[in-house]
């Protein structure tokens, strides 16, 4: 934690990890627990994807994807942001360096706010806020993540099959980890949290423990 205008700055907590690892649940809970603002950075990529999809733009064109970054107003509760076509397009367009650069400032401004912040995504601890006070890297086996994603889809009334969801998770892992810019990988100072055998409550408790160990000042919050 540094100083902003001579005042103590609040903590920045980075929560990275692959699809359906539990990072979003953990980030939201940690933000609430320590009274910090939270940004789900995946939503920015999803908003770009939704823009592109609505115009009928071509996701294999970096140029068209970049245009979809203009005027990025979106409603986080819009169910289409989480639809399967939009998820797939988000994973494709997030590999374009120009798209990542277009979304960089918004995320860094959020991370720099004086009171501190929690951000979750793929590259928070490596690119967006490499000087974060705590970096959590949340993982779970592909099979566990596929079962979680399937449950979410079914709860939303969608018709999905385990093997398709698992194949999709694996191909997204490959795209996210294999891309040249900001690939999904823990930075050497990340604290690893495998949630494969943990309930959401257990995962949150474990994350809170790691934050408190790393950030003694959080014990005052």
Q: Which residues bind ligand CDP (CB under 6 A)?
A: 19-20, 41-42, 45-46, 87, 90-91, 94, 121-123, 172, 176
**Secondary structure (DSSP) of the chain:** --EETTEEPPPEEEEE-STTSSHHHHHHHHHHHTT--EEETHHHHHHHHHHHHHHT--TT-HHHHHHTTTT----TT-GGGGSHHHHHHHHHHTT-HHHHHHHHHHHHHHHH-TT-EEEEESSIIIII-TT-SEEEEEE--HHHHHHHHHHHHHHTT----HHHHHHHHHHHHHHHHH-SSS-S---TTPEEEE-TT--HHHHHHHHHHHHHHH-GGGGG-
At closest approach, how far in Å is the CB of 2 from ligand CDP? 23
At closest approach, how far in Å is the CB of 172 from ligand CDP? 5
Residue number with CB closer to ligand CDP (88 or 221): 88
Residue number with CB closer to ligand CDP (58 or 171): 171
At closest approach, how far in Å is the CB of 17 from ligand CDP? 8
Residue number with CB closer to ligand CDP (123 or 206): 123
Residue number with CB closer to ligand CDP (31 or 218): 31
At closest approach, how far in Å is the CB of 166 from ligand CDP? 14
**Nearest CA among 92, 38, 46, 91 for reference residue 69:** 46
- Minimal CB distance residue for ligand CDP: 42
At closest approach, how far in Å is the CB of 219 from ligand CDP? 29
**Secondary structure (DSSP) of 189-205:** TPEEEE-TT--HHHHHH
* Antiparallel, parallel or unpaired: β 3-4 and 7-8: antiparallel
Residue number with CB closer to ligand CDP (20 or 146): 20
At closest approach, how far in Å is the CB of 70 from ligand CDP? 18
Residue number with CB closer to ligand CDP (35 or 177): 177
């Amino acid at each position: 934690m540094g100083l902003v205008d001579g005042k103590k700055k609040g903590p920045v907590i980075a929560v990275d990890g692959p699809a359906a690892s539990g990072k979003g649940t953990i980030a939201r809970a940690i933000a609430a627990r320590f009274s910090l603002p939270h940004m789900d950075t995946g939503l920015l990529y999803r908003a770009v994807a939704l823009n592109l999809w609505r115009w009928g733009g071509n996701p294999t064109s970096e140029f068209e994807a970049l245009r979809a970054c203009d005027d990025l107003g979106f409603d986080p509760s819009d169910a289409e942001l989480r639809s399967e076509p939009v998820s797939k397009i988000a994973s494709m367009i997030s590999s374009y360096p120009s798209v990542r650069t277009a979304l960089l400032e918004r995320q860094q401004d959020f991370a720099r706010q004086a009171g501190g912040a929690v951000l979750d995504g793929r590259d928070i601890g490596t690119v967006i806020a490499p000087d974060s006070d705590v970096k959590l890297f949340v993982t779970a086996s592909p099979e566990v993540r596929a079962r979680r994603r399937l449950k979410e889809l079914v709860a939303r009334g969608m018709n999905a099959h385990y093997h398709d969801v698992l194949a999709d998770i694996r191909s997204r892992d490959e795209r996210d980890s294999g891309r040249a810019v900001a690939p999904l990988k823990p930075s050497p100072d990340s604290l690893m949290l495998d949630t494969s055998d943990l309930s959401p409550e257990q995962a949150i408790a474990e994350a809170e423990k790691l934050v408190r160990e790393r950030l003694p000042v959080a014990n005052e919050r």
